[in-house]
Amino acid sequence: MITNLGIEENREWRCLLCDELLKLAKVRIDYMNGSFTVELPCCPECGMALVPEEIALGKMLEVEKLLEDK
Amino acid sequence: MDQKRLHQVESQCIQEEAPACRSACPLHMDARTFLLQVGKGQWNDAWKTLNKTLPFPAILGRICDHPCEESCLRSTLGGAIRIGELEKTCLNQPRPRIRVIPMPKKNRRMAVVGESLSSLVAALDLLRKGYDVTLFSSQERLGGTLWSLSDETLPKDILKSELEILETLGLKVEKTMLDNSLLTQLQQEFSALYLGLDSPSGAAMAQGGKPSGKTFALGKEGVFAGGACDEHGRLSPVYQSFQGRAAALSMERFSQNVSLVEGRRDEGPYPTRLFTNIEDIEPLPVALPPVHGEKGYTTDEARAEALRCIQCQCLECLKVCPYLDYFKGYPKRYAREIYNNASIVLGNHSANLMVNSCSLCGLCEKICPENFSMAELCLSARRDLVQHNKMPPSAHEFAIQDMQFSNSEQFMLTRHAPGQTKSGFAFFPGCQLSGSDPDHVIQTYSFLRNNWAQDTGLMLQCCAAPAHWSGDEAKTQAAISLLEKTWQTMGEPRMILACSSCLDMFRRYLPDIEVISLWQVMDQCQLPHYAAKPVGTTMALHDPCTSRHDPQLQSAVRSLALKLGITLEELEFSREKTECCGFGGLMENANPALAQKQLERRTSESDLDYLAYCAMCRESLKGAGKRTAHLLDFIFPQEVMGVDPADRARTGLSESRENRSRLRKDLLSQVWNEPLETESESMLQISPEVQATLDQRRILHQDIRATIAHAEESGRKMQSQVSGHFLASHRPFMVTFWVEYSLAENGYHIHNSYCHRMQVMGGKG
């Protein structure tokens, strides 16, 4: 199942190694015994993913806390 | 914690104990709830409350001799609440429909002898439980002396209709001449037998026998009796009812062949353990019925009278502890939640946050009339979580890493005093003072060698408090062993400790090591001639919570302040009742919002500047915006004139680590003449706003440096097409750090940083 984080298509960040604009792609994120597939801005070449600040401090933090209390 | 221990812990919290009025009532009528409902004018509910415990409420409520009033805590504050009168007012309101769920019929026959109140109650209770009950009486009608009461006390129509319930429930009545020969016959025919001593026939059949106190057994197989006059010859309706009820329970138990006595400790009136603080309760006179006189209260008068009820409860701990208040319960409930939390196999451990939020400060134990200790409960629950690998990693990780930093070569230092080959004493400043105020550590160490003992060595390391607070016994033991080893290396000196948490840890885990507080040492020395003498300054003294059980230490601090010319104001919560600054027990780590509340409470207790003697307390209080100085700020004042010690900013988290490293280097260089090479580090340019964000997110400069180094070496970074800033991430342990930066002269300009614990596993699609 893909969890939609509501991230808009990236127009700001480029991967410097590949000189590519980051595009939304499916990424697996893990913590403790939880694993989710989400869409994050990623480099189309090397796959380097960006976790935006509002996601890190918002939804991701919420899920982290839930998993920690499992 | 097993079930037995849980019950022990639970029973220590008395919040759920009955209020005095209820425990004094032989039937345990819930007068507190009744008065609350009357006060709100909720007559139907009040009626139902009476109906819950009172047999024949319309009768008993009118004739009750209300022993509840004698124990009412309002007695000395304007007079006991007139519960009896209020019951009458309530009973004069229309009776609500009350659904009674009939019990399944039981195949046992019970006999009740007598027509007076106790017999009627025994019969009623047994009928309600589904027994086949036969009442034997020599009288024409049931009720006995109740019929001789005046109509004003008990109207005849009410008595008649109230007794009709017995018929409805299927009571069989046998009018017969009763004599002793009948007793044996009834014993044979019925499962159990009740003799109402308040009825002539019942009394006659008892032949002067006295029933036992708790079970009302008469000493004859299956025969029970009650309803007698008390030792003063008085007949009390509520006692008659109680005895009928208690005997009926015994009859049931007898017929089922189970213990007559088990679990009946609190039957009948008993002294309650509930404590209710009435110190701040204003006296309020009884609302006497002004117009109706003997006719009783109007509903408005009754409501006014009911509102005088104190609504007795304890909650003493919640009044002083924002933590206990935060989780919207009280210790007994918390103990149950914590027990359930530990028992969960699958599902959410919903009490983790509660377990980890307690500051372990011990104030509740001091305040509680029964010395309930949340600290003990929470610490043991934390140990349990760690043992079962269920402790949320984020709860204490930062503090544990900070402890590991202090026990690394970046801070640890063990030395005899320069020129000495042994140490009679060793100064142990602790992590927090070293991180907050390294210069004062150097000055204090110098002072001790010059004024206390030349052979005072130095030990820089952590006392293991963070590991202890986190419930990690393995890490605690490892840090304690390291401490003990260092102490042995030093030749087992007597320890001079600046921090009361360190003192507490030494006493707890290394009781054989002789320890003394820095403040007690200093109080025995001549203070430096250059000490600041802020004569005329009045400050409020904040005792750290870990000094709670150390009155000598607290007195030494007061003595030092006096010598410095500081007038001290004692906060309401000081010495053994002092409050935590929000750092203790790693509260701030696990629940920063709660730590903020704790600080708000503490800082609002006086408008004066605070004087602290624990570095962490000073940092926390100052961080909450309270002007707070440390005692060392006056003993070793800054040479620069005009520096306001109460206004020194809170030390940031990175700064604290840098200070500790610098302290080690400075001590080695200045005291032992062993200068260390300083490694050149890239400069980080960070605005105060960004630094505040970093501290709040617990991101250290070393994390930022590592992230940038990782990005610059690997080239794996992003660049904004808008600002040109770089963005890079790095995961050195269970946390991924993100840093937004740009190049600056000799280093980097840090624009932002954040972190998360989830790991991005990468991959496209």
Whether the Cβ atoms of residue B672 and residue B450 lie closer than 8 Å to each other: no
Which residue has 């699609």 as its token pair?
B765
Could you list the mean pLDDT of each consecutive 10-residue stretch along chain B, which spans 765 residues? Answer: 90 97 97 98 98 97 96 96 96 92 91 97 97 95 95 94 95 88 91 96 91 92 92 88 97 96 93 96 84 75 96 97 96 96 87 97 97 97 95 95 97 97 98 97 98 98 98 98 98 98 98 98 95 87 97 98 95 97 96 96 97 97 96 88 85 96 96 88 92 96 96 96 96 96 94 97 58
Query: CA-CA distance, B325 to B601, in Å (whole number)?
Result: 12
Task: For B497-534, give one letter per residue: b (16+ CB within 10 A) or e.
Answer: bbbbbbbbbbeebbeebebbbbbbbbbeeebbeebbeb
Q: B122 in helix, strand or coil?
A: helix
Which residues in chain A are contacts of B755 at CB distance < 8 A?
A: 56
Q: A45 in helix, strand or coil?
A: coil
**Residue B109 backbone dihedrals phi, psi, to 5 degrees:** -105, 135
Instruction: Look at A65 and B394 and tell me if their CB atoms are within 8 Å.
Output: yes
Cα B423 to Cα B305, B450, B487: the distances in Å are 73, 14, 10
Of how many residues is chain A composed? 70
Instruction: Look at A17 and B716 and tell me if their CB atoms are within 8 Å.
Output: yes
Residue of A nearest to B385 (CA): A69
Enumerate residues 725 to 754 of chain B having a beta carbon within 8 A of any beta carbon in chain A: 726-727, 729, 736, 738, 752, 754
Q: B214 in helix, strand or coil?
A: coil
Q: Which sign, positive or negative, has the C-alpha torsion B182, B183, B185, B190?
A: positive
Q: Which fold has domain B109-253?
A: FAD/NAD(P)-binding domain (3.50.50)
Please name which of B591, B659, B580 lies closest in space to residue B620, comparing C-alpha atoms.
B580
The number of angstroms, rounded, from the C-alpha of B61 to the middle of its chain's C-alpha atoms is 38
Instruction: Look at B721 and A63 and tell me if their CB atoms are within 8 Å.
Output: no
Other CB atoms within a 10 A radius of the CB of residue B190 amount to 22
Enumerate residues 323 to 362 of chain B having a beta carbon within 8 A of any beta carbon in chain A: 347-350, 352-353
Instruction: Look at B721 and A13 and tell me if their CB atoms are within 8 Å.
Output: yes
Rounded to the nearest angstrom, the minimum Cα separation between A5 and chain B is 14
Please name which of B680, B681, B691, B679 lies closest in space to residue B750, comparing C-alpha atoms.
B691
Domain extent listing, chain B? 18-97+275-306, 109-253, 316-391, 398-525+654-660, 538-576+598-650, 683-756
Quick one: which H or E segment has residue B99? none
Could you tell me which residues come within 8 angstroms of residue B546 by beta carbon, excluding any fewer than 6 positions away?
B499, B500, B501, B503, B504, B584, B614
Predicted local confidence at residue B586, as pLDDT: 97
Of A13, A44, A60, the CB nearest to B718: A13
CA dihedral A14, A15, A21, A27 (to 10 degrees): -120
**What is the identity of the amino acid at B218?**
L
Rounded to the nearest angstrom, the minimum Cα separation between A13 and chain B is 5
Rounded to the nearest angstrom, the minimum Cα separation between B747 and chain A is 20
Q: Write down the pTM of the prediction.
A: 0.89
Instruction: Look at B761 and A57 and tell me if their CB atoms are within 8 Å.
Output: no
Instruction: Look at A70 and B738 and tell me if their CB atoms are within 8 Å.
Output: no
Predicted local confidence at residue B523, as pLDDT: 98
Cross-strand bridge partners of residue B539: B568
Q: B765 in helix, strand or coil?
A: coil
Q: Which fold has domain B18-97+275-306?
A: Fumarate Reductase Iron-sulfur Protein; Chain B, domain 2 (1.10.1060)
Instruction: Look at A26 and B764 and tell me if their CB atoms are within 8 Å.
Output: yes
Task: For B232-270, give one letter per residue: b (16+ CB within 10 A) or e.
Answer: eeebbbbbbbbbbbbbbbbbbbbbeeeebeeeeeebbbe
Rounded to the nearest angstrom, the minimum Cα separation between A61 and chain B is 7
Residue of B nearest to A20 (CA): B718
Instruction: Look at A22 and B752 and tell me if their CB atoms are within 8 Å.
Output: no
Which residue has 């918002």 as its token pair?
A58
* Cβ of residue B175 closer than 8 Å to a chain A Cβ: no
What's the Rg (C-alpha) of chain B?
36
Q: Which burial class, exposed, middle or buried, applies to B291 when counting CB atoms under 10 A from its CB (0-12, 13-18, 19+)? A: exposed
Cα B350 to Cα B341, B593, B598: the distances in Å are 7, 18, 22
Chains A, B: CB contacts under 8 A, how many?
Answer: 101
Which residue has 């044979």 as its token pair?
B188
The ipTM estimated for the assembled molecules is 0.97
Which residues in chain B are contacts of A65 at CB distance < 8 A?
A: 392, 394
Rounded to the nearest angstrom, the minimum Cα separation between B736 and chain A is 10
Predicted local confidence at residue B230, as pLDDT: 78
Quick one: which H or E segment has residue B593? helix B592-603
Could you tell me which residues come within 8 angstroms of residue A24 by beta carbon, excluding any fewer than 6 positions away?
A7, A9, A10, A39, A40, A41, A42
Of B348, B393, B718, the CB nearest to A16: B718
Instruction: Look at B736 and A51 and tell me if their CB atoms are within 8 Å.
Output: yes
Out of 3.40.190, 1.10.3470, 1.10.490, 3.10.20, select the CATH number for domain A2-68: 3.10.20
Could you tell me which residues come within 8 angstroms of residue B670 by beta carbon, excluding any fewer than 6 positions away?
B442
Instruction: Look at B754 and A56 and tell me if their CB atoms are within 8 Å.
Output: yes
Rounded to the nearest angstrom, the minimum Cα separation between B660 and chain A is 30
Of A44, A56, A69, the CB nearest to B756: A56
Predicted local confidence at residue B765, as pLDDT: 35
Listed in order, strand segments (DSSP E) in chain A are: 2-3, 13-15, 20-21, 23-31, 34-42
Whether the Cβ atoms of residue A50 and residue A40 lie closer than 8 Å to each other: yes
Predicted local confidence at residue B764, as pLDDT: 45
What's the Rg (C-alpha) of chain A?
13
Residue of A nearest to B728 (CA): A50
Rounded to the nearest angstrom, the minimum Cα separation between A7 and chain B is 16
